[in-house]
Structure 1
Amino acid sequence: MSDDWRDARLDLLRTLILRAAPDAREERKWVKPTNPAGVPTFSADGLVCTLERYRDKVKVTFAKGASIDDPSGLFNASLDAGTRRAIDLREDDALDEDAFLALVRAAVAHNRS
């Protein structure tokens, strides 16, 4: 088991995503030499979000984030993007888990509308 904070954070995010959307399908996409493990993606009637690991943060990108409400203000990256929105989390950043669960549920509901 890794003691890297990013691995622990990604595991938590994966658990929360699957709790909010138990029927979501998890896949690894975009495998390449610089990212041999690929990018975890979660789909439920369309792409919901992806998880990415960077040197100084982890990123959750919501494919259609610009179209869903974020009343708790979790989105803090890709705010000018036309379609997507993201959450960058650094080691000491807190995550409002209830707000995150609601955001995932909203993304799934948007895909199904």
Structure 2
Amino acid sequence: MVPKSLYPYPLFPQYCSTGTYALIGHDVPAKLLESVDKTWFQHSANYRKLPEDVLFTGIFAEIAKIRRTHIGGMSFIDAPAYVCRNGLRAYSLHMNRVRDPRVYFKRLGALEGHGC
């Protein structure tokens, strides 16, 4: 439960769940940073404990009037259940249980998709 002194509204604004974020627009990072100053973030350790996705893609983005769009297909599990465009799967290294980077590399090489 978040104390009302930190966030007085009953629900968080729409936010993009943790994983991968794409900030599109040359002024978006600056707008996000400017919006931080309009919150308790600088002054409250408890406020800084709010989830980063809620803060940066929710509260700060709402203050800065930045439009957010959810793009499905990212996954936090070893075998993604989400399929992207053209039937290709998305794969996330974030929160993966495998700790050896060599194993990650082998898995990435075996996945469907296009090289960058």
Q: Which category describes the TM-score, using the shorter chain as reference length?
A: under 0.3
Q: Give the number of the structure whose residues are more often strand, by fraction.
A: 1
TM-score by length of 2: 0.23
Q: Considering only CA atoms, is the larger Rg found in Structure 1 or Structure 2? A: 2
